[in-house]
Amino acid sequence: MITISVTVSGGTTPLPIKLTIDNLDNQHDVKISKDGSFTQDFDLPGGRYMIVVSGMNPLGGSTEISVSGTFTSGPMPDSTSTTNNQFYSVLFYGEI
């Protein structure tokens, strides 16, 4: 089980936040779209995963992305990333 939390600060996101959980060992991928901040649990089978969160910050705002759970390795590079770039795409790698 992993938890992904995305917190938008400084306003409302102008575009939906896209989340892709790519299982590198098979085709059982997860793709969702959210209109704003969210926290969601995912019950994933064992394997290697690339997790990508992308979106657009509100003008002058920022987004914090946190990935946690029962990883045997990772998440890498860190479990939390904060971005204040207008457009962002943040990548995490982990093994469950």
Report pLDDT for 3. Answer: 96
Q: ω into residue 58 within 30 of 0, thus cis?
A: no
* CA distances from residue 58 to 12, 46, 55, 74 in whole angstroms, order as listed: 6, 36, 10, 29
Predicted structure pTM score: 0.92
In the chain, which residues have pLDDT < 50?
none
Predicted confidence at residue 27, as pLDDT, reads 87
pLDDT value at residue 79: 92
pLDDT at 8: 97
Query: According to the model, what pLDDT value does residue 28 have?
Result: 86
Using omega within 30 degrees of 0 as the cis cutoff, is the peptide bond preceding 77 cis?
yes
Rounded CA separation 87/82 (Å):
12
pLDDT tens by residue, 5-16: 999 999 999 999
Residue with tokens 């990548």: 91
